[in-house]
Structure 1
Amino acid sequence: MDKESLSHDEYTESGGLEHVEYPQGQVPQEVIDAEIAQLAEKYGINQRKLMFKVDICVIPVICILYILAFLDRVNISNANVYGMSKDLNLYGDRFNTALAIFFVPYVVAEIPSNWLMKKFTPHVWLTGSMLLFGVTLLGQGFANNYSALLATRFLLGLFETGMFPGSFYLISMWYRREEAQKRYSFFFSSTTLAGAFGGLIAAGIHNLDGDKGLASWRWIFIIEGACTAFISIIMFFLMADFPEDAKFLTENERQFMKEKLEVGNAGASEAERPMTWKDVKSVFSDWKVWVMGWMYFGTIVPAYGYAYFGTAIVKTLGYSDVKTQLYSVPPWVAAFGFSMLAAIFSDYLRHRFYFAVFAGIVAIAGLAVVIGVHDKIGTRYGSLFMICAGTYTAMPLFVCWTQMNFLGHHRRAIASGWQIGFGNCAGFISTFVFQANDAPFYTPGCAVCLAFACLSLVMQFVYAAGITWENKRKRTPEYIEKFNALSEDDRRIAGELNPSFFYYY
């Protein structure tokens, strides 16, 4: 019988994946679907209803969390339009330093944060962090000098460190590779919504200037910080944990989710086993983790460059302070639409690489236009749409692509923490390449962003070529023999290095 074309009935009679061997190393998708259907029948599960339930209970909550986290991080650019630098005497590169100090704790604590989230559970760790950075932002509204601003920005980075990698890690443990992109992109696109909301909120807050003796830029921090802290308390009761512990699932549903996520993968999630240094060493000995780090790093430079200085570029087009805030909104909205459209087609076609490359090219083209065109306001403003949409579409595509090519709680937690942590080192670059004396065109900063966007694109091709080679190597007798010669413990923690696992494009 041709295993590539098993019907559901024939597949069920064969006994499932454990009784069918695929010497070429790739389990056909139709066979995986049949195994999952068999599991659903076994546990009496309606898959469509269950996944809708999971989507409702998991995704909106972490999206709200990250919208507030990203908003609290970048609203300093909105505050600066309203005179923060003048009031706090931020001369020279002091404003850039205030942006950069956020990334010092933010980068260092990424991987430890994922470990702590697994130890304390997501609903405790993520919402606790949210409460702390909300209170910190509120305090930032009362900063009276440069030192106080630096202190609050540092604490903001420390308390936000687990938000992004933790959320990606949590999503990755709920969805299979062929299901994940829409959810990843919807979550990631919350950053674009945060950028849009930031401009709208800042435009509205302008009317509070002088109220109770406080400047409008202070009200941005106070109002958004207080809202974040309050919402974190509600999120504590709503946020889902990992599938093994989720209280909104029945016991049947938990068992189905556990087994479903393991279908076609090499081994179990090993959620119950403590993470060890051996796990860390195993992940960092894999070339893929380094390439995907540089892939993300290259895109973070233009991403943060736009997030922190896009409003400043809009202001150089000649708009008033309030109009600048309002005109900063449409590029973010366009980015959300473009990202979700790419995600829908990417999941439908079960492919990531070409979509990520196309988005990267859009961002590169936008950066080239903003560098080369100085005398046409409409064209320069249009290029911001391309930069924002291309950058914030490419990132969730290749983060999902690379993260879902790691298996198990430990390997995925370490890999996601490293990718996000190392990538965010680029924040130190993006916060300093845009200098006030380079206005109105900011050519040096845009040129640096263009160079790193190109680096990211090259890394995507390197990664695609590398996993193609790895998939072929896994099919060789030599690789299988070498893997089988490993100790039982090493085989158990190997995850995606198992020869039965096929890397996804």
Structure 2
Amino acid sequence: MITNAVESTSSLPDAPAMSPDAEAKLIRKIDLRLLPMLFMVYVVAFLDRANVSNALTMRMPEELHLTGQQPNTALAIFFVPYILFEIPSNQLMKRFTPHVWLSLCIFGFGVVMLAQGFVHNFSGLLATRFFLGLFEAGIFPGSFYLISFWYKREEAQQRFTFYFCSVIFASAFGGLLATGIANMDGVRGYSNWRWIFILEGIMTVIVSFMAWFLLCDFPGEAQWLTDEEKEFVLRRTLTQEAENKEGPLSVSDLVEFFKEPMNYFGALMYFSVVVPVYSFAYFTPTIVKTLGYSVVQTQLHSVPPFAAAFGFCVLLAYLSARTDTRMPSVIISALILIVGLAILMTTRGHFSAQYGGICLVCMGAFGAGSIVVCWYLMNLQGHKQRSIGSGWMISFGNTGGLVAPFAFLPKTAPQYVTGYSVCMSVAVLGILVTICYALLVLRSRRRVADDPGANDSHVMSL
């Protein structure tokens, strides 16, 4: 069984003494060097996978002759390689270093996105969506994996939330960008929906070159830290990576990992987040359009729900960090999601209530995302557990990306009872598995408390 305990760091040299002011200065230096570039990377990554939702409100379905569930199939095919290659991608990132591996992935999906602007049929759309999922597979779990080694557990939540908010920013920015691009219909003979993919593909390729030079590696590999600063970061985060004592990942490591029940509940928690997140990231423009807006108005009115979600995420991160607890934030988010879905299901024809329900759903869906990931990942220790854990949690959770596209079928518009019911069921499931995961954490904490030789740093967070 995986013990979730940190191996001894006694073989590391003592970290150099550092005053509180100097330590705070070092953390600010890490924040500025690590987080903005990762944020930008995932903005373009999520923008590239979700921008098809904006294109579907334009003439894309007519020009590509999409019928029935073909648009939904195109959304879902992305997740097949995305799910399968997340754990292998984490291993490749460790081998080649983050700035090399992630930059290559970004360049790959930027080129694919650019190509998507020139497809002429359903088959071409499927192919580009498949390769988009392949190249994007390592970005999200790899970034969380990387962030987890730079901070202490009590510092991680706000950083995880900052990074996760890139999803919200991309969802909102995608609507604003699509609003402007909607007026480019016919420019150089291309429809406006094609310009969404072409311009965002070019932007992504540019970001990939920036990432090569600006993305951080793991603390022990960071050339912009002095040797003393590296030792200090490794010591304060209880990391062994400087000596890499864990060795290469083996089949037995995977077997031991999957013997631990907590890992299944952690993945289910993230699944319960992903289904509503992708449902509303993909279909908010479509749902808003059913309220009677034009194409441009639809894109603009898709932005405020994500702005509300951003504010709620920041508030939860602050409260979670201050109280050093995660479970209440996850439960509160799920309850807000359920309330929002209930409003959407019962107030058909009431514009203000419907729009308010969309805002509540976005707040509840996105609010728990970073909390769940931080809670689970920071309860794991070492490169092996975190590389497997981040890939496993996010790959399993993203099976929800296969569910979401088929929850909101055109034939169910404008009520979308099936989609709302699926999201509500998943939200209830999320509450149940969150409670189960918390009970397992309590069991682990009792075991540590009963062990007189245990280190307090091994206590898992609740």
Q: TM-score range by the shorter chain?
A: over 0.9
If the length of structure 2 is used for normalisation, what is the TM-score?
Answer: 0.94
In 1, are the aligned partners of 2:15 and 2:228 still within 8 Å (CA)?
A: no
Q: 1:80 aligns with which of 56, 61, 64?
A: 56
Letter in 1 for 2:410: A
Letter in 2 for 1:229: V
Aligned to 1:182: 158
Aligned to 1:504: 461
- Residue 43 of structure 1 deviates from its aligned partner by 9.1
In 2, are the aligned partners of 1:262 and 1:268 still within 8 Å (CA)?
A: no
Aligned to 1:249: 225
Aligned to 1:123: 99
User: Is structure 2 residue 198 aligned with structure 1 residue 222?
Assistant: yes
In 1, are the aligned partners of 2:220 and 2:241 still within 8 Å (CA)?
A: no
> Cα deviation per residue 1:23-45 (whole Å; 9 max; x = unaligned)?
xx999xxxxxxxxxx95526998
Aligned length: 451
Aligned to 1:413: 387
Aligned to 2:9: none
Aligned to 1:158: 134
Letter in 1 for 2:286: A
Q: Provide closer, same or farther for how the CA distance between residues 26 and 283 of structure 1 changes in structure 2, counting only shifts above 3 A.
A: closer
Q: Provide closer, same or farther for how the CA distance between residues 378 and 45 of structure 1 changes in structure 2, counting only shifts above 3 A.
A: closer
1:345-424 → structure 2 map (5 Å cutoff): 345-424=319-398
Letter in 2 for 1:415: G
- Residue 271 of structure 1 deviates from its aligned partner by 3.5
- Residue 460 of structure 1 deviates from its aligned partner by 0.6
Q: Provide closer, same or farther for how the CA distance between residues 432 and 26 of structure 1 changes in structure 2, counting only shifts above 3 A.
A: closer
The answer for unaligned runs of 5 or more in structure 2 is: 7-13
1:275-286 → structure 2 map (5 Å cutoff): 275-286=249-260
Q: 1:451 aligns with which of 425, 430, 447?
A: 425
SS class of match (1:432)? helix
C-alpha distance in structure 2 between counterparts of 1:468 and 1:268, whole Å: 28
Aligned to 2:171: 195
In 2, are the aligned partners of 1:270 and 1:408 still within 8 Å (CA)?
A: no
SS class of match (1:288)? helix
User: Is structure 2 residue 67 aligned with structure 1 residue 65?
Assistant: no
Aligned to 2:447: 473
- Residue 395 of structure 1 deviates from its aligned partner by 1.2
If the length of structure 1 is used for normalisation, what is the TM-score?
Answer: 0.86
Letter in 1 for 2:432: V
C-alpha distance in structure 1 between counterparts of 2:93 and 2:455, whole Å: 27
SS class of match (2:51)? helix
SS class of match (2:349)? coil
C-alpha distance in structure 2 between counterparts of 1:184 and 1:57, whole Å: 15
- Residue 269 of structure 1 deviates from its aligned partner by 7.6
SS class of match (1:431)? helix
Aligned to 2:285: 311
- Residue 403 of structure 1 deviates from its aligned partner by 0.6
Aligned to 1:107: 83
In 2, are the aligned partners of 1:196 and 1:330 still within 8 Å (CA)?
A: yes
Aligned to 1:31: none
C-alpha distance in structure 2 between counterparts of 1:215 and 1:268, whole Å: 50
- Residue 360 of structure 1 deviates from its aligned partner by 1.5
Q: Provide closer, same or farther for how the CA distance between residues 113 and 60 of structure 1 changes in structure 2, counting only shifts above 3 A.
A: same
> Cα deviation per residue 1:153-200 (whole Å; 9 max; x = unaligned)?
000000000011001101111111100000000100110000111000
Aligned to 1:432: 406
User: Is structure 2 residue 311 aligned with structure 1 residue 337?
Assistant: yes
Instruction: Report which stretch shifted further, 277-286 or 380-389.
Output: 277-286
% identical equivalent positions: 44
In 2, are the aligned partners of 1:43 and 1:253 still within 8 Å (CA)?
A: no
In 2, are the aligned partners of 1:271 and 1:408 still within 8 Å (CA)?
A: no
> Cα deviation per residue 1:223-276 (whole Å; 9 max; x = unaligned)?
00011001210111000000010111111100100111118xxx7786452222
In 1, are the aligned partners of 2:148 and 2:156 still within 8 Å (CA)?
A: yes
In 1, are the aligned partners of 2:220 and 2:242 still within 8 Å (CA)?
A: no
> Cα deviation per residue 1:120-153 (whole Å; 9 max; x = unaligned)?
1000111110011011000000000000000000
In 1, are the aligned partners of 2:42 and 2:139 still within 8 Å (CA)?
A: yes
- Residue 207 of structure 1 deviates from its aligned partner by 1.5
Q: Provide closer, same or farther for how the CA distance between residues 241 and 500 of structure 1 changes in structure 2, counting only shifts above 3 A.
A: closer
